[in-house]
A and B are shown apart, each in its own frame.
Chain A
């Protein structure tokens, strides 16, 4: 099994005719994802290969069952695209776009929660249940079907971790990139709860980074509510305070968000923290 997506998930691509949207829509199809429709305002009636393009999410929903939408729309319009998907009540809204204004996501966050929908991202690589479905931009070929869950605030660092897991023959149930922004739709705790409830996930890797206090709260949640083994990793241990390190959310400010506090919180919750990604498989194997 897997969390959030599987081989039956029908996917809509918002921004499907754009450079990134078209490239990754094709990539997802090649990786076996059921991409059933796309949206680009003003391009309704066209096709991207075999995938029909619509003017709006609502129109696409009229013709197809849609379980999830993935947004590749440029930052300036991404907030509106998220709200459009929410208004059309798409259950799972995945925003890949980087650079979306934070206050727009603050508003979208509350709207989506109230409607009982789920947002992943923004500024994330998406998610993959290897061998079943990929909704995002990660290279599918480094993954292997299996029973390890992966949750991460980062993109390429997740690939690094997955690459090491796969090399150690530890396959993945689902890998979720939750995003590197200060306001994201799904946090570590939300994803951990899903993995805890998934009978086929045996252990979880949590990849955090400097900024905010999500990792600290996650540690508390793990000691209270997670029975499965968890291994952690924290990036940004050498980052200077006050500087934004690429991700909008990766900043140590006012003494908050430090790597030391995060590592300490994880360790206090019985979660070993790897110093480098290639130590993760062994740490996890010991605990399975």
Chain B
């Protein structure tokens, strides 16, 4: 799960990580009072979950409160990579002497939490990792023992040089790590981590991603969820226990299991078709899930056909068949369906469907070729 910068800054403040004052506004006129309070010279920043907002024109300087209103008016309502800007923050424009980068990630390979730190802040860190990987210092942390303070200071000394700055960075990294572990993050990033007046290091941006699996442990984080991260169909699907991702094709897919669902989309593409969605009905055998899946898929006006591909394990083919029959009785399925059923209780499932006049395939390639040819 992702959160907005302003939410990340609030979280940083709770953990004692230095951030600047901010005002979150949704109406451009409100920028005036906020900018006046902050001394007039401010930055207006779009709040979107996608990256690259700076390049898209979503971050602007304003020298006066009036200019702040104008810039806020420009940015609010902008479309940044398909995301509508509904909020901006107003924050003081600091005089920046130097920009660093500090980030923590969960590294799948080493099974460690890795601190990344560099003097080259303010740039896209993914790009720097490709062009100048040696400029990013990496410091692995074992979750069982936590941060080795002496080793951390040694790493930070290389980057921050002055004792005063090293001490501030050490304090920030420690608090960032506490946030990471306590709230089950997958990524915490300050870019830029900036040196401003009076030799003070502050977080001028905040990027925090959370482990979806751990949201059940953190009601406060779960409450920060933003509707714009997922489409309405994705949210609805989730409420029925379905895993759904919108795509831009015209063949609706209903599959059990994430790997098979991905492979099914791939094979559709291989035969020249285009999948409209990824949909995993999950492991359980509830006929209602099939009904809801069909309902959600049919909301998409582009849908021309539906492919149902089930390999029964825990999922029982007869339950899926019941779900399909229920759906045909309760909703108008305006497009043709190709059904492939194999595995647990396949004969019962096919029997039920064939009674109602459905043809059922047993070979996946056949089924895909049929649906693409429709």
Chain A interfacial positions (CB closer than 8 Å to B): 20, 23-24, 75-76, 98-103, 106-107, 109-111, 125, 137-139, 142, 152-160, 163, 180, 182-183, 207, 209-210, 212-214, 217, 233, 235-240, 243-250, 254-255, 275-278
Contacts and interface: CB of A to CB of B under 8 A. Distances in A.
20 contacts: A20-B314, A75-B216, A99-B213, A109-B111, A142-B343, A154-B259, A156-B311, A159-B260, A160-B263, A160-B311, A183-B106, A209-B262, A235-B263, A237-B269, A238-B247, A245-B261, A275-B267, A276-B263, A276-B364, A276-B365
Contacts of B342: 163
B142 interface: yes
B143 A103 contact: yes
Residue among B108, B181, B275 with most chain A CB within 10 A: B108
Contact of B263 (A109, A157, A212, A243): A157
B260 A106 contact: no
A160 B242 CA distance: 21
A207 B257 CA distance: 14
A246 B265 CA distance: 13
Given A106-B111, A154-B257, A276 B245 contact: no
Nearest to B366: A278
A236 B266 contact: yes
A254 B126 contact: yes
B143 A247 contact: no
A265 to B, nearest CB: 15
B344 interface: yes
Given A109-B111, A183-B108, A101 B258 contact: no
A137 B316 CA distance: 13
B273 to A, nearest CB: 10
Nearest to A110: B144
B280 interface: yes
B133 to A, nearest CB: 13
A248 B259 CA distance: 11
Contacts of A180: 258-259
A278 B363 CA distance: 9
Interface string B238-275: 00000101010000000111111111011111100001
Contact of B314 (A137, A255, A276): A137
A235 B364 contact: no
Contacts, number: 168
B312 interface: yes
Contacts of B344: 139
Given A157-B263, A235-B262, A243-B245, A101 B365 contact: no
A98 to B, nearest CB: 8
Nearest to A122: B213
Interface residues of B, number: 51
A75 B213 CA distance: 8
Interface of B: 106, 108-109, 111-113, 126, 142-144, 181, 184, 186, 211-214, 216-217, 243, 245, 247, 255-263, 265-270, 275, 278, 280, 283, 311-314, 342-344, 363-365
Given A103-B143, A103-B181, A237-B266, A209 B214 contact: no
A122 B116 CA distance: 28
Main SS class of interface, B? mixed
A154 B260 contact: yes
A46 B222 CA distance: 38
Nearest to A257: B108
Contacts of B269: 237-238
B360 to A, nearest CB: 16
Residue among B258, B267, B364 with most chain A CB within 10 A: B258
Contact of B217 (A101, A275, A276): A101
Contacts of A156: 255-257, 259-260, 311, 313
A175 to B, nearest CB: 12
Nearest to B185: A103
Given A102-B211, A246-B258, A276-B270, 10 more contacts: A24-B314, A75-B213, A76-B216, A139-B312, A180-B258, A212-B109, A238-B262, A240-B245, A246-B243, A275-B267
The 6 closest A-B pairs by CB, nearest first: A154-B259, A246-B258, A156-B257, A157-B259, A101-B214, A235-B262
A99 B109 CA distance: 20
B343 A159 contact: yes
B111 A248 contact: no
Contacts of B262: 157, 209-210, 235-239, 245-246, 250
Contact of B266 (A153, A214, A235, A244): A235
A245 B363 CA distance: 24
B280 A246 contact: yes
Residue among A98, A125, A159, A249 with most chain B CB within 10 A: A159
A247 B126 CA distance: 24
Contacts of B111: 106, 109-110, 183
Contacts of A159: 260, 311, 313, 343
Contacts of A210: 262
Given A238-B247, A244-B212, A155 B266 contact: no
B278 to A, nearest CB: 6
A235 B265 CA distance: 9
Residue among B181, B214, B245, B268 with most chain A CB within 10 A: B214
A100 B212 CA distance: 9
Nearest to A27: B314
B211 A103 contact: yes
